[in-house]
Each structure stands twice: as C-alpha cells, then as structure tokens.
Amino acid sequence: MSKSLLYRAALTAFASVGLASAVQAAPITVDITASADASVSSDAPTLNDQTGNYWRQSSRDMAYVRFDLPVDFNGGSTTASLLIHPHAGGAPNQWMGVYGVPYANDTWTESGINYNNQPAHTIGDGSADNVSLQIGSVAVDGNGYQVVAADTGSPAPYYGTQFMAFLNGAPGAGASSVSFAFNAAYDSPGLGWFDTREGGASVAPILRLTYEPAPVPEPASLSLLALGGLAMLRRRSVA
C-alpha cells in the first residue's frame, strides 16, 4: 500500500466519520522564562553583551529579551504580564519604555546582536516594518519582580490593548516566540540595572501568560477515525 493511497484513505475515513469533536481545556497560567536576552549600547556600537548577569538601562542603551511561546498557545490569552527583576546597585524610580519587536524583524541572536544591527525600536503602531509597538512606559521603583507591561491599564502605565494584541497575534503570524525591547527615556535619577537570565531562574525575565490551550480531539473520536481508516484500506485491498 503506497503512502499516497494511505493518505487518501485516511482523508476519506475522516470525512466518513465527521470532524473529530474536541475538548477545550480550562485556562492555565504559565511563567515563561526568557530564552534569550542581550543588551547593546551606543557607547560601544559593535559590542555584543550577552553574558553578564545584568543589563544597564539608560538613554544610550537598549536591552532585548525573547520568550518562546507554548506549543499549544493559539493566540487566546486572557491575561498576561511582563516582569523584570531590578539588579542590586541600580538606581530606583527608573522610567523605561517597553516595545514589542515586530515579528518579521525578530531575527536577532543572543550572540550576534549589537547596537548597529539591532531591530529598530521607533514608536509606532507595530504594523510597519522596523517599527516597534510601545506596550509600556513605567517606573521601576521597587525590589523584587516589577511588572513593566500588563493586559490592564491603558494608556498608562501599561498599553494593555497593544500588549495583548501583540501577544495574541504571534501564532497567526507564524511566530513561535516574541521579543521585547527596553529603553530608559532619560538617565535621571541614574542608571537602572536589571537581572538577566544568566543571573539564574529566580531573577530571570518572565512572561506570565494565562491562556486556553488549543483544543485536542477526544480519544473516542480518534478511535473512530482510526477504525474508519482501517475499514477504508480493507475495502481497497479487497477491490
């Protein structure tokens, strides 16, 4: 029996038993740890800095963080928040802009990014190439994890609508991960320092996502589909 015949038989069997009914799982909340992060600076435009345990925030510096989305995430998140951890020694009350890197331009690598080749972070609506979507502008002013983007509160301190649209639009755009850029609007009251994933899981950047996993076929429906395929193959063999 050829593979093409097996494939056609399976499709015919699928049609004969009807679409498999699916079970919609209850919403779940996951904390996704950054899979990549790096910082760049106009002070050293060709330098790649991705091994340190903290990044510096000033008007001259940018930090990039990437998160791999769950395989069963289909764009149906209901709540979300982006959290970073201040590093000891940094200045408090640090205002920063948070941007979503356009999916098509999210090609940076942890070991290759520098100031000269970084994705552009111009404030925009996210629809044009090289234009990032601003999703937050907040003061990081405490110890422990700080929320720098969230689904609620628009337009300030969080651009909730833009943030959720950016996350939920990723699967439809064929993106299996999302990246964010961070930049301090000014250098007062001083430089902000924030922990990277190299500092360990307890301080690494986190994307907290509540979503409904993609529906999965019921076991009974899968069994019917398999039986239908076998029956069709049997009829073809007899013929």
Amino acid identity for residue 123 in this structure: I
Same domain, residue pair 61 and 19 = no
Q: Are residues 30 and 19 in the same domain?
A: no
The pLDDT value recorded for residue 127 is 42
One domain, residues 101 and 196 = yes
| One domain for residues 160 and 197 | yes
d(CA 41, CA 207): 24
Residues 77 and 169 reside in one and the same domain: yes
CA distances from 92 to 63, 88, 205, 219 (A): 18, 10, 18, 54
Per-residue pLDDT at 52:
77
Whether 12 and 50 share a structural domain: no
What is the secondary structure of 63-77 as a DSSP string? EEEEEEPPTT--S-E
Question: Are 123 and 206 members of one domain?
Answer: yes
Torsion sign, CA atoms 122, 125, 131, 134: positive
Q: For 156-168, what is the mean pLDDT?
A: 78
Average pLDDT, the chain: 74
Burial class (CB in 10 A: 0-12, 13-18, 19+), 101: buried
Sign of CA dihedral 91, 186, 59, 99: positive
Give how many domains the chain has, as a whole number: 2
Give the pLDDT score at 133. 61
Q: At residue 134, what is the residue type?
A: Q
Domain residues for the domain of 193 are 25-214
pLDDT at 62 over 70: yes
What is the predicted pLDDT for the residue at 56? 73
